[in-house]
Structure 1
Amino acid sequence: MIARQAIQLDHPANTPEQAILAAGNALLASDACTERYVQAMVDNFHQFGPYFVIAPGLAMPHARPEQGALTPQISFIRLRQPVAFGHSDNDPVSLVLGLSATGQDQHIQLIQQLVTLLSNEHTYHTFLHSTDAEAIFSCFTHKN
């Protein structure tokens, strides 16, 4: 679901594009997608707006599988300072979880796994406040 190198804490993004690029580049660094996929994530934001800001403080940028997804994976970027994406209800964003899926079924599975993790109060607290990337990784790899 996630590679250790796809986790970044307190990333210094100042714009939505910088935050999306961080999430995409973390997927790229863990061989989950191509550079074209990362650019498509940013292009989707420009074309469709902040549709992927799905809850208060939470964004899940992604692109279509055929735009360069290689494996199903998530990246985890916690921003140093929240960033406004332009969403009327869910701004500003602190957590950016990039998604790479090679098909619709994988996309749905990743989102279901994330919803399960985010609904656990302890896990969500860890996501927001831990200074240890290994603790974040552990939340993804251990059943709660």
Structure 2
Amino acid sequence: MLRYFYDNQLIKIMDKQPKNWEEAIRFSGEILKEHHLITDQYIEDIIRDCHEYGPYIVIIPDVAMPHSSAESSGVLGTGIGFTIMQKRVSFEEGNPEKDAKLFFTLAAKDADSHMKNIANLSELLMMEDMVPDLLTIETLRDFERIMEKHGM
């Protein structure tokens, strides 16, 4: 899956820190917008869902998976964008379990593709040392070294 991000140029290493979690979601959607996979509407749908349902997108500490439903009119294609923030972003004040630095933004045109994306991403994140390794990325060369380390 690391090769997917690399080969499809779906990696963004942020050079500025978002002011809050809403801005972090907007930043994380930029790479998918650049590839014409989503529109601003999809990003706003994710933010709305987080306000309504809480920080469901923080799947484990340090990792967020921004997504909304496949029925969103803002989804133009299927893909996953990987955005690395400079520092952790808090989704729930005082709860470090709901902080994230790694953002995997999902877009899918249908439920099957959405579930496949989630399964592939889960498999990647469960690999030994993967999350700690990803947290060290500051440059594209760092990303390449992690791909080499994990044989991808």
RMSD: 2.4
Q: Say which of 60, 70, 78 aligns to 2:76.
A: 70
Quickly say closer, same or farther: Cα 1:4–1:55, change in 2 above 3 A.
Answer: same
Please give the alpha-carbon distance, in whole angstroms, between the structure 1 residues aligned to 2:46 and 2:141. Answer: 26
What's the offset of the Cα at 1:121? Answer: 2.8
Q: Say which of 34, 46, 51 aligns to 2:56.
A: 51
User: Paired residue for 2:131?
Assistant: 124
User: Paired residue for 1:99?
Assistant: 106
What's the offset of the Cα at 1:6? Answer: 4.1
User: Paired residue for 2:23?
Assistant: 18
The higher radius of gyration belongs to 2
Q: Is the 8 A contact 1:6 1:74 kept in 2?
A: no
Unpaired segments of 5 or more residues in structure 2?
A: none
Structure 1 ranges of 4+ moved more than 6 A: none
Unpaired segments of 5 or more residues in structure 1?
A: none
Q: Is the 8 A contact 1:24 1:41 kept in 2?
A: no
User: What is the aligned length?
Assistant: 142
Query: TM-score scaled by structure 2?
Result: 0.79
Give the letter aligned to residue 33 of structure 2.
Answer: L
